[in-house]
A and B are shown apart, each in its own frame.
Chain A
Amino acid sequence: MNPELLNTLGSIVGTATPLVIASLGETVTERAGVVNLSLDGSLTLAAVLGFAAAWTAQEAGVLDVPGQIALGIAVAMLVGALIALLIGFSSIKLRRDQVAVGFVLTLLAADLARFLGANFTRIPGPQITRYAIPVLSDLPVIGPIFFRQNLLVYFSYALMFAIWYWLFRTGGGLTLRAIGERPEAAYARGARVQRLRYWYTALGGALVGLAGAAYSLNVKPGWSSPPAMQGDGWIALAIVIFGGWHPFRVVLGAYLFAALRAVSSNIQTNGLFIFGQEISFPFVLLNTLPWLLMIVTLLVVSSGLTERLLQYMPRAVRRRLRAFLRSDPPKALGIRFDID
């Protein structure tokens, strides 16, 4: 295979990683019945504070580079978890609307990030380095695409399988799904709905924070204003819907978005050639593509279009296909559960 193409595919996998981690985190949160709408803000705040922590450690010379990175990641995860917990708390204890609080936090966290990040604009800091996995990276095709990345990328693969395994193959995962689908039933069976919702909201938030660190310590190193990851939080939220709250499809969606973006930015820098003919076109407009894709994917999952298409499929594959394309949200998503 063309080494240049392999390179591009590899870089798509790399740049998609924050989206992968953030949307997997949100999947966990939403599976528990809580919407963390603040993604676009919490990603940014986690990114800047994670970077600031790592950079400060570097300047102070207190830790070696992996230590600085670890510190940055820990801070970012803490930030993400705290914001998510605030949404959980306001919903569970104070009975506020999750969407309202989440939206306010989106704006607040983004502004806070700009305010606190003002002194960290455009300065170099520690970065996560590549680490090719010995045997796997030599595999043809798959090796260069998936196994010459950094540890965060490998973590995202593991995370995908772990979440899938937990959700669909363990008792704990069954409870998790139950508190998002039928909290009353789960409660009657002895699940501590509120406490579990706190835990899963915090876990999902921590993953969103990790995704923030994946931007500022790797994909878009450092900090700039306006932030490089602006808008990605919303895309991650849409990917969760597109992915039907299923980890594999969510990851697929994240790669799809990243690929589309890579293609459009590639065309914008190099121009577009079809059969050696340069096509002239206002390439700025290609920036609309991820958002058009977002609308189209939401349209497809919510308009019943898939169901209509399924009618044309042979009966034999219909059931399996429907199971794969199923995209119903957790039934209790965004709905408060009050014990009394």
Chain B
Amino acid sequence: MSLRPPALTRLFFLLLPIGISLAVAAALVIAVGRDPLDVVDALWQGAFKDSRKLGGVFNFWIPLSLVSIGLVVTFRAGLWNIGVEGQMMMGALFASWGAQYLLLDERLAPLLHVLLLCLAALGGMVWAWLVGALKIRLGVNEIFGGVALNALVNVISIYLISGPWQPRIGGSAQGTAPFPKPALLPEFAPTFPVNIFMIALVAAAFFIIYVLLNHTRWGLNLKAVGKNMRSAQLLGVATQRTSMSAFLVCGALAGVAGSYRVLFTFDNLRPLASGGIGFLGLLVVLLLSIRLLWVPLVAFAFAAILTGSTRLQIAPSLKLDSSLAGVMQGMLVLFVILFQGLRETLFPVPNSSPSPPSQGEESPRQPGRLPPGDGEAEQS
């Protein structure tokens, strides 16, 4: 431990990339002829002006935290679950099916909600299982399998919205009819439109996954598979089953995250209801080099930027595209990763720190197929 650079250096290499990414974003804003301070003001107003806005932040935070927690699990196992976006969407589809066809009495609403969330978890798991089966049994790289499955579920959702789930009159391609009231998750208060139960669920997921990762054999197995598939296998870890379990856990969490979007945020199913939150979750976890502990906090910051960015278009002095939020988040993650590299180059650590999931470094895993040495695909 004494070989690690001093705390001050580490702080410097954390703050510097944050400063640089903010400076680059500011330069961009100046380049399009706006005042960066106006942007800061708009973001702040958009996210924290009153309790309603704060509720909006939590409405992004809930699904974002859920997918990020799930992605920590898959990254721990060395898997790139880009399919998380589609898993969210599949969860949303399953929940939407239940919301439309499982009609229960208003008094049984809590039971219905539990059912819908379970359905959503199942939906996410189905889609995650597909990515996992393609990867583990058939050797299709999970990045490409995931991207294709994301696209597939989007087409399916558009088909359902414009076809079978279209109301007989007054339908549109923008979304299904609003779901019946008992199916929708209730809001805490009109001034703070958030579902409290889901916040508790995020907290529970966080603690459960934290304990599972750090204090169980399963967590250890995940790490072993992620660090070096081959030696994990030689040590007797059921590598295939471990990888698949990581996918399934992440899929379940993503499915629930997706259902929150349709059962609370929108009240109906829309095309692209997942709204890029899955991809944002990947950024959150990459930013943190797969450390779970800080996920809720960073997810909150990202959710605040996302919520605030809706004001960029409305604020009369700005009229900027809300994609600036994505630019800021992307810059931040990029510079943090680059400066980690710079720090490790300048202050080499013999037993290097937890690096971002390294596809193809210690355990080479090429796109499209497993290398012959990894042996999993050939075995089955």
Contacts and interface: CB of A to CB of B under 8 A. Distances in A.
Interface of A: 35, 37, 90, 93-101, 103-105, 107-108, 110-112, 114-116, 118-119, 225, 231, 234, 237-238, 241, 282, 284-285, 287-288, 291-292, 294-295, 298-299, 301-304, 327, 329, 331, 333-336
B289 to A, nearest CB: 10
Contact of A95 (B159, B333, B345): B345
Given A107-B279, A284-B155, A299-B134, A329 B366 contact: yes
A301 B366 CA distance: 13
Interface of B: 28, 32, 80, 82, 134, 138-141, 143-145, 147-149, 151-152, 155-156, 158-159, 162-163, 279, 282-283, 286, 320-321, 323-327, 330-331, 333-334, 337-338, 340-342, 344-345, 355-361, 364-371, 377-378
A298 B158 CA distance: 25
Given A237-B144, A303-B139, A94 B159 contact: no
A288 B330 contact: no
Contacts of B327: 108, 111-112, 115
Closest 5 CB pairs of A and B: A94-B341, A108-B330, A111-B326, A334-B360, A302-B369
Given A90-B337, A104-B286, A108-B330, A334 B148 contact: no
Contacts of B162: 284
7 contacts: A104-B333, A111-B325, A291-B148, A302-B368, A302-B370, A334-B366, A336-B361
A294 B155 CA distance: 15
Contacts of B325: 111
Given A298-B141, A299-B134, A329-B367, A107 B326 contact: yes
Contacts of A299: 134, 138, 140
Contacts of B330: 104-105, 107-108, 111-112
Contacts of A35: 360, 367
Contact of A238 (B80, B144, B337): B144
B342 A94 contact: yes
Contacts of B365: 334
A111 B367 contact: no
B338 A94 contact: yes
A94 B356 CA distance: 13
A259 to B, nearest CB: 18
Contacts of A241: 141, 144, 367-368
Given A104-B283, A237-B367, A295-B149, 7 more contacts: A94-B342, A95-B345, A100-B358, A104-B286, A107-B330, A291-B149, A333-B360
A100 B337 contact: yes
Contacts of B163: 282, 284
A220 to B, nearest CB: 18
Contact of A100 (B147, B156, B286): B286
B360 A294 contact: no
B148 A294 contact: yes
A112 B320 CA distance: 12
A302 B140 contact: yes
A114 B159 contact: no
B357 A97 contact: yes
